[in-house]
Structure 1
Amino acid sequence: MSPPTAAAGDAQVTTLPCGVRVASERVDGVRSIALGFWIRCGSRDESEELAGVSHFLEHLLFKGSARYSSREIDELFDALGAEANAGTGKETTSVYARFLDRHLERAFDVLQDMVLRPVYAEVDSERQVILEEIAMYEDEPQDRVHDLLARALFADHPLGRPILGRAEVIANVPVAVVGRYHDERYRPRNVVVAAAGSVDHGRLCELVEQAFADQPAEPGPTELPADAPAHYGASVRFQRKDTEQFHVCVGAPGLARGDERRFALRVLDTILGGSSSSRLFQEVREKRGLAYSVYSYASQFVDCGQVAIYVGTRPDRVTESLEVIGRELRRLVEDGITDDELERARENAKGRTVLAMESTLARMNRLGGSLLTGVPLLSLDEILERYDAVTADDVVALAGKLWQPDRLVAAAIGRDEEVWRRGLEALAPALAEAAAQAAEATG
């Protein structure tokens, strides 16, 4: 008797007897398949002593499996004309490929062997690769500042740590420890196999069942995290670095991944700083020329989230930039939004959603990420209806809740901390006071 298959939006979802969930979405008119193994394992699952091991493990999956060497993996994907890659997040890891539909069995075989049966070859050389990646990241303040903001917001919680982890961990973690970490987390109930394109759901389920035939059955997915970090109010982080610009982030606690207000949040973000017609882009860059790069964004996790604004500007313009940002946040809440802004932002969100859904890779990512983290799989029409239902009152109410002054945190990388504190005074005096106290505490 075959396992039950349910429709979820435009997708088919089957939970196999072993515990693995299989999700697929057929896309007519394409000859390719995007296939991914999604594992409920990310930097959030790491202790401080193992910070970075999820990302390190993801790299090692490509260095050889029980039946394929690293070179053979590369040659096989090249011979198929396939694109293969992987990614580690704070809550998930994915290993995926895109290839012609006639190569499904071959591509699946290589991927499943990599994911389920790594042999941890070439470990020392890959350590060096990761250490170089960490060094490169440390040299990019426009990237690093976002992790400083996460530390300001989430403090010592694992969500406050960089996904890349710490160099000393990568340099010294024993292979046996990495192997145990894999075996504890890459288990059937932690895995979703997702595919989109010219794919037959029944055949995909057969392949997955064969791949996990030697794994013990684990009915029911692993419980999702329930340790959301507390928010303690004004918090700041500053890193001195000899840079031409100050790289500044302002943020606050946001929404969980499955929160129904996520559609209003997308509209709010588009209006605030997520598009070229947004208020921050127009006021900070276009009207005043204060920055080349200024934008807002939101990050969502299983049980919490964050909202954030980034601006990169020269030292003599930090104060004015933050003053404008603070004014726009207040204006958004006090004066509301116009009908034109609402319509433009809703259509922007809908258009980007539809365009993304024309990519089999984007569809596969949506299936894997949503199913693994407990987010309902909506059809395209249902998603568009959710955006159409967002009202101006929804957006303004959400802005008033998320961007309250007493919820703000901030982070910056630049030459002079005094410049930073003056800028914070223009944005939110409580943050400037927190920065002064932090400076006193560190001497």
Structure 2
Amino acid sequence: MKPHRLTILPGGERVITERIEGVRSAAIGLWIGAGSRDEPVTKAGVSHFIEHLLFKGTERYDAVEIAELFDTMGGELNAATSRETTVVYTRVPDDHLDVALEVMTDMVFAPSLNDIDSEREVVLEEIAMVDDNPQDLVHDLAAESVFGDHPLGRPVIGRAEVIASISRRSLHGYHRSAYTGPNVVLAAAGNVDHKRIVAALRKSRKGVESKAAALPRKPAGRVAAPGIRFLKKNTEQYHVCLAGPGIRRDDPRRYASALLDAILGGSASSRLFQEIREKRGMAYSVYSYGSQYLDAGQIGIYVGTREENLRECLEVIGAELRDVGAGNLRNGELERAKENMKGRLLLSLESTSARMSRLGKAVVLGMEILPIEEIERRIVAVTEDDVAALARDLYTPELLSAAGIGPSEKLFRTAVQRLNPSAVERAA
């Protein structure tokens, strides 16, 4: 028997819930299958801007009332925009569930989109904040180095020139096209009753029968050859991302990919953390990461280091990538990564918010919801050969682009030359 229940409303909205015995909290998320990759270049950042404006009020609740209501409940109302989704979410005591649902559905489906100019300034300040933070900004350069001018290569937060000029009419138009029934999922986990939640959403959508199509999604297409992106800033450190194409989210190798990430730079015992930070003291922050999308993916490695350490840092990274790709996994390395992954999975089951996110994200992205036992089985089934083969496919240094922020592009190129000379030559 499945622990969750799924209902599709006449308007195409989907409701998925999971009842968890012994808790008094309810985690709720309204997921919209639209993000920055669904925006034309002339509206880059509109998804994130609308996410902000949802909090500015509806016809029934103004912005202050929304904030006061959730403060009174003891819950925190928040939202997030990614490349493929937008979500408004909260966790509240179960006796406040009905009010929370009523306010959140009103925010998502019937925002007034008022106070645009004041919130426009807030978003412009947020963009400026990212521009002032090279640790964040370099990841945008890395995405651009992999996806070029495709929307997946643009910053989720948007571009200042678009946000500064976009009209209320354009915002309304995008909201109507993106926040449509088949594009919306209501997920809930905790002390929740499925029928009650379905009834609440049905009430808020009374009379809405339209099944308008979701936004057309531009295919990722062919990824460009590895190259270089550099932004000159007078920083104390060089902030570097090595990035390349990853795997799509339905790729059966995703479990091997997660384990490879843990081995390379995803934990305190990972190779890059130990070799660069703990043994050599050349960086405070060093890690690997990965993103998986409908039809594409991206992998990356970040390090922030001073000028005198830059060249050696990249040499160490290159040596570790080649070592794993050659199949030279250390004793107990893969087993430790498997236990880490299984442990984090089990710990997440104690969080109603994590369970809600698991359900909502899976449904809005069209992913299969696997039983925990099956996920564990797939983790255990990954072999050392699987990890090594994926490392060769994704992390061979000659396949990686390099994005950097720092004082000297010449010094950056010299350091990257040792890792991937063809990328430097291509960018010359």
Residue in structure 2 matching 1:271, options 263, 268, 280: 263
Superposed CA RMSD: 1.4
CA contact (8 A) 1:193 1:368 kept: yes
Residue in structure 2 matching 1:320, options 312, 317, 338: 312
1:62-73 alignment, distance < 5 Å: 62-73=55-66
Q: What's the counterpart of residue 440 of structure 1?
A: none
* 1:348-385 Cα deviation digits (max 9, x unpaired): 11111111221111111111111111111112222111
Distance 1:292 1:433 in 2: 30
Distance 2:377 2:330 in 1: 21
Displacement of 1:401 after TM fit?
Answer: 1.0
CA contact (8 A) 1:188 1:212 kept: no
1:84 is matched by which residue type in structure 2?
L
Q: Unaligned stretches of 5+ in structure 1?
A: 1-6, 438-443
Do structure 1's residue 184 and structure 2's residue 177 form an aligned pair?
Answer: yes
Q: What's the counterpart of residue 296 of structure 1?
A: 288
Displacement of 1:208 after TM fit?
Answer: 1.4
Distance 2:325 2:164 in 1: 48
Distance 2:348 2:332 in 1: 24
Q: What's the counterpart of residue 101 of structure 1?
A: 94
* 1:149-206 Cα deviation digits (max 9, x unpaired): 0000000000000011111111111111101110011000000000010011111111
CA contact (8 A) 2:147 2:224 kept: no
Do structure 1's residue 21 and structure 2's residue 1 form an aligned pair?
Answer: no
Do structure 1's residue 307 and structure 2's residue 299 form an aligned pair?
Answer: yes
Q: What's the counterpart of residue 174 of structure 1?
A: 167
Distance 2:399 2:367 in 1: 26
Q: What's the counterpart of residue 250 of structure 2?
A: 258
Q: Unaligned stretches of 5+ in structure 2?
A: none
Q: What's the counterpart of residue 4 of structure 1?
A: none
CA contact (8 A) 2:234 2:407 kept: yes
What SS does the corresponding residue of 1:38 show, helix, strand or coil? strand
Displacement of 1:223 after TM fit?
Answer: 7.9
Distance 2:117 2:32 in 1: 25
* 1:62-92 Cα deviation digits (max 9, x unpaired): 0011211111111111121121000011110
Distance 1:319 1:432 in 2: 14
What SS does the corresponding residue of 2:326 show, helix, strand or coil? helix
* 1:82-106 Cα deviation digits (max 9, x unpaired): 2100001111000111111111111
Q: What's the counterpart of residue 396 of structure 1?
A: 388
Distance 2:113 2:223 in 1: 39
2:56 is matched by which residue type in structure 1?
K
CA contact (8 A) 2:32 2:185 kept: yes
CA contact (8 A) 2:228 2:401 kept: yes
CA contact (8 A) 2:327 2:385 kept: no
Distance 1:79 1:299 in 2: 36
Do structure 1's residue 230 and structure 2's residue 193 form an aligned pair?
Answer: no
Q: What's the counterpart of residue 214 of structure 1?
A: 207
What SS does the corresponding residue of 2:332 show, helix, strand or coil? helix
Identity level (%)? 52
Q: What's the counterpart of residue 25 of structure 2?
A: 32
Residue in structure 2 matching 1:424, options 409, 416, 419: 416
2:279 is matched by which residue type in structure 1?
K
Runs of at least 4 residues off by over 4 Å = none
Q: What's the counterpart of residue 152 of structure 1?
A: 145
1:290-369 alignment, distance < 5 Å: 290-369=282-361
2:236 is matched by which residue type in structure 1?
E
Displacement of 1:308 after TM fit?
Answer: 0.5
2:183 is matched by which residue type in structure 1?
N
* 1:11-55 Cα deviation digits (max 9, x unpaired): 222222221111111111110100011001111111111111110
2:307 is matched by which residue type in structure 1?
P
Q: What's the counterpart of residue 124 of structure 1?
A: 117
Count of paired positions: 428
Do structure 1's residue 408 and structure 2's residue 400 form an aligned pair?
Answer: yes
Do structure 1's residue 138 and structure 2's residue 131 form an aligned pair?
Answer: yes
Displacement of 1:224 after TM fit?
Answer: 7.5
Distance 1:286 1:19 in 2: 52
